[in-house]
Amino acid sequence: MTTDISTPTPTVPADERETFDSLSPVNGDVVGTHPVHTAEDVQVAVSRAHEAALYWSSLSFDERAEKLNIWKGVITRRIAQIADLMHHETGKPHSDATLEVALALDHIAWAGKNAKKVLGRQKVSSGLVMANQAATVEYKPLGVVGVIGPWNYPVFTPMGSIVYALAAGNAVVFKPSELTPGVGGWLAATFSEVVPDHPVFQVVTGLGETGAALCRAGVDKLAFTGSTATGKKVMAACAETLTPVVIEAGGKDAVLVDEDADLDAAADAALWGACANAGQTCIGVERVYVHDRVYDEFLARLVDKAKDLRAEDSPDTKIGPITMPSQLEVIRSHIGDAIARGGRAVVGGPEAVGDRYVQPTILVDVPEDSSAVQEETFGPTMTVSRVADMDEAVSRTNGTRYGLGSTVFAKARGMEIAERIRSGMTSVNGVISFAAIPSLPFGGVGDSGFGRIHGPDGLREFTYAKAIARQRFKPLLALTSFTRTAKADQQLTQMITMLHGRASTLPK
Ligand code: NDP
């Protein structure tokens, strides 16, 4: 019998082991049963990962890239299998699941291909004063990276950390959401087919406590994606051992529509951005600010596009169920608050929230301080507000505690408006485009978190910078020695005056 290296064998005797079920949000069927890994199990996984990290980090960038490439091929050939599992665990339509995996594959390719260029040793200037030194910087793997992921994009989201951490030379221990443990297990198991002799990428399953145990198990960095509230708990747990963290948390992303925008494209993007994946997208559209001059026409087009869109249990539905049942109450309360405070539903409304499905809902005239505008709803809903100009749109967009993504529809001023929005990422005349460009960093500010995945920043996030200064020849001025003379001090003063003195003259 071969041992499964992709997950630790529970330390508790078989007859005392706790398990949990993942359930289909479509009908409540049990999709799979998984072990609740205890703190001790997590510790075992992390210890094994430290050993595996020695092997993995000893490989060259090219060798790691080759293995990541093989893994990419395995996932690609079995894309229907993983998409089916994602559909069962999250309820999302098969086509959305397939798209999600396809986007993740692009990231594996990019991270493997670019790790050497971004992280490998590079010469940097040593400056005039230290001209006798050769200076280099390189980025070394941290060791073991713990990854805690959400359920809404169970492949794309955690892979943004896992793949970049692996490409940088780290071993990974991944705790998927309790709603999507099967998908997490599938990812680690396929990787172990490619790297069968070392547990470089393991999965631990369980509830919140298993995640908390991972924070305390001696990982060298913890990459968390989930809600802001849990992010704070993760950070507090990691602070006990000075374990650094990346926090990819929630958002309240806006679309800004200027008077010269392509209104049809803007309405299409706002609707898809708000309702795709049943609105359960960290960078999903939750608010729309439209220039007064085009507000009525934009709204008419949006309503027209939304009126036939339905969330339902059918093989060709475009919108699936709400994956986490407790979110239904949040969505209901945000819609209720908006209506109670003078807002109107022009599509959907309070009755749109069912037992498992939520129908698309468009709210107008909603006060800016209501929960539907300020808090993450995570459902297929959006507020649409009229603004006098793009200054007001930017100011209102920047008026929440979040700052994850944003979208601008404009012809003349797209880039100018984009630059004024306080969010980690912005798409101009497209929606969510930045997430699918592997060379762009992904992450937020404020309550949306900090640190970056994807792109060169995402690779460096899972490394430490290693600086080396190597003396090439004896210095003309011996500065770092007690043999330094008064003459050397004088020569240094002359040199720094020449280098820096003139530019710092105060303006008259
Ligand atoms: P949660 O914060 O509920 O959970 C995230 C992960 O943390 C899960 O694996 C969860 O495990 C685990 N967890 C729960 N409690 C603890 C704890 N005390 N210590 C350590 N880990 C713990 O988020 P959701 O899964 O509900 O995901 C939705 C949220 O994720 C939304 O706010 C969304 O905006 C955000 N998100 C952000 C993204 C980004 O890149 N910025 C991308 C995707 C989503 P368990 O499930 O077992 O409770």
How much distance in Å is there from the Cα of 225 to the middle of ligand 1?
Answer: 6
The C-alpha angle 455, 149, 375, rounded to 5 degrees, equals: 90
pLDDT at 466: 98
What confidence category does residue 504 fall into, taking pLDDT thresholds of 50, 70 and 90? low
pLDDT tens digit sequence for 249-292? 999 999 999 999 999 999 999 999 999 999 999 999 999 999 99
Mean pLDDT of the chain: 96
Given the CA of residue 151, which atom of ligand 1 is nearest to it? 25
Residue 353 has pLDDT above 70, yes or no: yes
What is the DSSP secondary-structure string of 14-80? GGG--EEEEE-TTT--EEEEEE---HHHHHHHHHHHHHHHHHHHHS-HHHHHHHHHHHHHHHHHTHH
Residue 372 has pLDDT above 80, yes or no: yes
Residue 507 has pLDDT above 80, yes or no: no
Mean pLDDT of 150-155: 98
Given the CA of residue 282, which atom of ligand 1 is nearest to it? 34
The answer to whether the beta carbons of residues 6 and 203 sit under 8 Å apart is: yes
pLDDT tens digit sequence for 111-135? 999 999 999 999 999 998 899 999 9
How much distance in Å is there from the Cα of 74 to the middle of ligand 1?
Answer: 27
Percent of the chain with pLDDT over 90: 94
Whose alpha carbon is nearest atom 40 of ligand 1? Answer: 248
Active site residue 100: no
pLDDT at 505: 66
Whose alpha carbon is nearest atom 47 of ligand 1? Answer: 207
Mean pLDDT of 324-339: 98
Residue 138 has pLDDT above 50, yes or no: yes
Q: Left, alpha or beta for 118 (phi > 0: left; psi -120 to 50: alpha)? A: alpha
Q: Are strands 133-141 and 463-471 parallel, antiparallel or unpaired?
A: antiparallel
Whose alpha carbon is nearest atom 48 of ligand 1? Answer: 208
pLDDT at 2: 55
Alpha-carbon distance values, 479 to 126, 463, 473 (Å) = 15, 32, 14
Active site residue 282: yes
How much distance in Å is there from the Cα of 159 to the middle of ligand 1?
Answer: 14
- Which residue of the set 282, 375, 376, 461 is catalytic? 282
pLDDT tens digit sequence for 21-31? 999 999 999 99
How much distance in Å is there from the Cα of 255 to the middle of ligand 1?
Answer: 25
Quote the CA–CA distance of 287 and 214 in Å, as a whole number: 35
What confidence category does residue 1 fall into, taking pLDDT thresholds of 50, 70 and 90? very low
Residue 4 has pLDDT above 80, yes or no: yes
Given the CA of residue 149, which atom of ligand 1 is nearest to it? 9
What is the DSSP secondary-structure string of 451-502? S-BSHHHHHHTTEEEEEEEEE-S--SS--SSTT--HHHHHHHHHHHIIIIIT
**Most ligand 1 atoms within 8 A of CB, residue of 148, 203, 452 to mutate:** 148
How much distance in Å is there from the Cα of 467 to the middle of ligand 1?
Answer: 35
Which H/E stretch holds residue 201?
strand 201-203
pLDDT tens digit sequence for 427-486? 999 999 999 999 999 999 999 999 999 999 999 999 999 999 999 999 888 888 999 999
How much distance in Å is there from the Cα of 152 to the middle of ligand 1?
Answer: 9
Question: For residue 124, how many C-alpha atoms fall within 13 Å in the half-sphere facing its CB?
Answer: 10
User: Taking Cα atoms as reference points, which of 231, 288, 304, 282 lies closest to residue 254?
Assistant: 288
Mean pLDDT of 48-74: 98
Q: What residues are in contact with ligand 1 under a 6 Å CB criterion?
A: 148-153, 157, 175, 177-179, 207-208, 211-212, 215, 225-227, 230, 233-234, 248-251, 282, 324, 376, 404, 444, 449
Q: What is the DSSP letter of 442?
A: B
How much distance in Å is there from the Cα of 378 to the middle of ligand 1?
Answer: 13
How much distance in Å is there from the Cα of 341 to the middle of ligand 1?
Answer: 30
pLDDT tens digit sequence for 204-248? 999 999 999 999 999 999 999 999 999 999 999 999 999 999 999
User: Taking Cα atoms as reference points, which of 375, 366, 431, 365 lies closest to residue 399?
Assistant: 375
| Radius of gyration of the CA atoms of the chain, in A | 26
Given the CA of residue 327, which atom of ligand 1 is nearest to it? 26
Residue type present at position 308: D
Question: How many CB atoms lie under 10 A from the CB of residue 67?
Answer: 17
Question: How many CB atoms lie under 10 A from the CB of residue 37?
Answer: 29
Mean pLDDT of 48-66: 98
Mean pLDDT of 301-311: 97
Whose alpha carbon is nearest atom 42 of ligand 1? Answer: 282
**Most ligand 1 atoms within 8 A of CB, residue of 19, 42, 282 to mutate:** 282
- Which residue of the set 248, 375, 376, 461 is catalytic? 248
**Most ligand 1 atoms within 8 A of CB, residue of 164, 177, 215 to mutate:** 177
